Amino acid sequence: MDAMVEIRDLQVRYGDFVAVDGLSLSVPKGALLGLLGPNGAGKTTTINAICGLLQPTAGQVRVDGLDVTADARGVRARVGLVPQQLALYPTLTVRQNVDFFCGLMGLKGQRARDRRAWALALAQLDAKADAKVETLSGGMKRRLNLACGLLHDPPVIICDEPTTGVDPQSRNHLFETIRGLHAEGRTVIYTTHYMEEVEALCDRVAIVDRGRVVAHDRLDALLDGGDTTRFHVTAHASAAQVAEALAAFAPQVVQAPRTLEQVFLDLTGRGLRDGEADTGAGEGAP
Amino acid sequence: MIDGLLQVVRKELAVFWADRQGALLTILIPVLLAGLVGMLFAPKEGAATMDLLVVTAEDHPAVAGLIADLDADSMITVTRVSEAEARRKVAAGDAPAALLLPKGVGDALSLTGLFTGEHIQVTLLQDPSHTFEAGFAGGKIQQALFTRLGKAMADPKQLATALTGARLLTKAAPSVRPEFRAFLDSADTLVRDAPDLIQGTGDGQGLQLPLKVTTEDVAGSGGPSDYNSYAHTFAGMLCMFLMFGSLAAGKGLVEEREQGSLVRLQMAPVAPGTLLVGVGVGAAVIALIISAAVYLAGMLVFDIQVRGSWLGFVAVHLGQAVYVGGFALLLAGVGRTARQIDGLGTFAVLVMSFLGGAWLPSFLMPDWLDHISLLIPTRWATDGLAAMTWRGLPLADGLTAAAVLAGFGVVLGAIGVRTFRWR
């Protein structure tokens, strides 16, 4: 399968601090990849490198065949970044925000009008087009944040924790939107701390830790991997009785299926990462 | 590139206008403050007088005449008090100066002691914190004394009395040369035989002070100047508030960085420098809009007039706008956080406003500060606007100020773009 995003031996250093340490990752065209990692693992730095927002110390990043270092502008035209923070102007109206970002992306005339209509429909904010962003709910702002990142109709979408602080309905709407965009053939890279979001949304998962990819595979393959063996037991007894009998036989036997969170913790450890932060720019670096 | 820059400028204007009340306040506050401060400096009738306490030790017509002369001066208000009260009031700061006229002043002003060689000591008490006013009073007193002496000299009766006294003195002094005695005799004869020549009966006749000082207000345009204190305060307050606007623009950029929203701008196919310059140009355009509104109010309400060149007036505003945009970028470049910009920017704006003559006219500054302030853009803005308004100076003065201001703006802006951190 053709790779839409190809990262080879990416290294990003800020002085003595190594944010990304020889990271390699290949994201197939049309994939919906969940990019996971603890705080400070190098996710945001990797995203910034894909978007051409920073200069790698070493390694190569290609998007749709374009080298990010050589043609950052070309790469940015192919990537739609939906940042974790609300990159909107709260005192301007929804329409003014969309128009500004349309203009900034070089969209003009009928094309700009079409994309504005598309964005308002995508965010379901037609009725709120003339409302100031500061008056919108958290979910509405998140939807608008997503739409504004996709105005230039990019084939690659990177969502950096897009569901932070939204209610379940808005989260569901964002999932539907992302599924719809993926169904149109776009490649999506989705970072989050919520494992259930990746399980619900993504077909592939990459887990990053300490600046390296520690696991990358299809979601079902990851869940099936590891030292855990699944047994299907048919018994004329309750689940608790079965579990008790199995536990007497082998203490390692657990009743629950393997979850992505389990995989994640197995790979990245259970220690806290409070002191580490990946800002994508080396801030907080020693 | 231009498209991207224009998009950012348009957005900056939209953000400015989105908060209409805030936008209105950025115009109203400088107008109100400039009007208030201008009122304090306005040269109104009777408003610029100083109090002078006078202590007299004798009731002499010449002394009364001297006091009347001083009181007649429109810039001095005389109050007669006792010496103890004069000393107490000056010491307490209730009066800037007091004139002590001892016994004998009356005779001296009547020419009685003209040739005696005796001096009467007149003392001026001054408050050390008001030496400028005391010096001013001293000048006015000297002027009144000479006027009074001139009048005595032009009075044949008083002059004759003085000459008689002088002749009596010289008779008793054998060392006096005979030529001087002869001069006194002939002068005495002249005074007694032809008093009209001394007193005079018309223009060009009589004994008069040969010099007379008059004052004339001039403007660069050659016509009479009509100093308008508001013209100064509007220039100063506008400059200060425009710099506060710069602070807000620079802070806004850093807040966007702190919130992480700059990343979307970076994703646009526009050079990062162009995006920053767009913010600077936006700040400059907003500065121009505020300047136009503030001066419109100044012209309509406070009668500020462009007595110099209109082209120069517009040029100074354009130069100032470029400076404001550059200053915004500089603040964004050097400030790591919004709070840093708040502290650093407020300090810089206040110091530059003070040193640049935005609060007090530069002519009130000490010489050394006056020279140093030429390195401050604010000085060029206030001087440039003063030159084109009440001073009525030619276009070249306006263009010079505009060029210096624009130069400051470009240099500061370049430093800001160079040092700005996107993350």
Query: What is d(CA B77, CA B182) in angstroms, rounded to the nearest whole number?
Result: 46
Q: How far is CA A122 from the centre of its chain?
A: 19
Cα angle B90, B96, B98 (rounded to 5 degrees) comes to 65
Query: Which residues face B87 on adjacent strands?
Result: none
Looking at residue B7, what is its pLDDT?
92
Q: In B, what residues contact A, Cβ < 8 A?
A: 3-4, 7-8, 10-11, 14-15, 18-19, 259-270, 422-423
- Check if the interface score ipTM surpasses 0.85: no
Q: How far is CA A60 from the centre of its chain?
A: 20
Looking at residue A277, what is its pLDDT?
53
**Mean pLDDT for the stretch of residues B252-262:** 87
% of chain A residues with pLDDT over 90:
54
Looking at residue A272, what is its pLDDT?
59
Least confident of A65-79, A102-116, B181-195: B181-195
Looking at residue A286, what is its pLDDT?
27
A87 in contact with chain B, both atoms CB, cutoff 8 A: yes
Most confident of A44-48, B303-307, B410-414: B410-414
Looking at residue B218, what is its pLDDT?
62
Residue B265 with chain A: CB contacts under 8 Å = 104
Looking at residue A284, what is its pLDDT?
28
- A91 burial level (CB within 10 Å; 0-12, 13-18, 19+): middle
Residue B60 belongs to what H/E stretch? Answer: none
Please provide the DSSP assignment of B176-237 as one string.
Answer: S-HHHHHHHHHHHHHHHH-HHHHH-SSTT-SS--S---------TTSS-----HHHHHHHHH
- A262 burial level (CB within 10 Å; 0-12, 13-18, 19+): middle
Its sign, for the CA torsion B385, B388, B393, B399, is positive
Least confident of A247-256, B187-196, B202-211: B202-211
CB contact (8 A) between residue A100 and residue B11: yes
**B311-339, pLDDT tens digit by residue?**
999 999 999 999 999 999 999 999 889 99
**B378-392, pLDDT tens digit by residue?**
999 999 999 999 888
> Mean pLDDT in chain B?
86
Query: What is d(CA B350, CA B217) in angstroms, rounded to the nearest whole number?
Result: 32
**Substitution target from A81, A86, A89 for chain B, most B beta carbons within 10 A:** A89
CB contact (8 A) between residue A81 and residue B263: yes
**Substitution target from B264, B337, B420 for chain A, most A beta carbons within 10 A:** B264
A91 in contact with chain B, both atoms CB, cutoff 8 A: yes
**CA gyration radius, chain B:** 32
**Mean pLDDT for the stretch of residues B177-198:** 77
Looking at residue A276, what is its pLDDT?
55
**Mean pLDDT for the stretch of residues B168-173:** 75
Residue A238's pLDDT band, with cuts at 50, 70 and 90, is confident
**B92-139, pLDDT tens digit by residue?**
888 889 999 998 888 888 777 666 667 788 899 988 887 888 888 888
Looking at residue B210, what is its pLDDT?
66
- Least CB-CB distance to A84: which of B14, B260, B270? B260
Residue A283's pLDDT band, with cuts at 50, 70 and 90, is very low
- Least CB-CB distance to A87: which of B11, B15, B261? B261
Most confident of A273-277, B52-56, B181-185: B52-56
Q: Say if strands A58-63 and A3-14 run parallel, antiparallel, or are unpaired.
A: antiparallel
Under 8 Å CB pairs connecting chains A and B tally to 77
Query: What is d(CA A173, CA A167) in angstroms, rounded to the nearest whole number?
Result: 10
Residue A280's pLDDT band, with cuts at 50, 70 and 90, is low
Residue B162's pLDDT band, with cuts at 50, 70 and 90, is confident
Residue A103 with chain B: CB contacts under 8 Å = 3, 7, 10
Residue in chain A closest to B253 (alpha carbons) equals: A89
- Least CB-CB distance to A92: which of B4, B18, B259? B18
Q: How far is CA B30 from the centre of its chain?
A: 20
CB contact (8 A) between residue A88 and residue B261: yes
Looking at residue B163, what is its pLDDT?
79
Looking at residue B61, what is its pLDDT?
86
Taking only residues 153 to 182 of chain A, the set having a beta carbon closer than 8 angstroms to any beta carbon of chain B reads: none
Least confident of A205-219, B171-185, B394-408: B171-185
Query: Which residues face A80 on adjacent strands?
Result: A157
Which alpha helices (H) appear in B45-115, and where do they start and end?
A: 61-72, 83-91, 105-109
Looking at residue B363, what is its pLDDT?
67
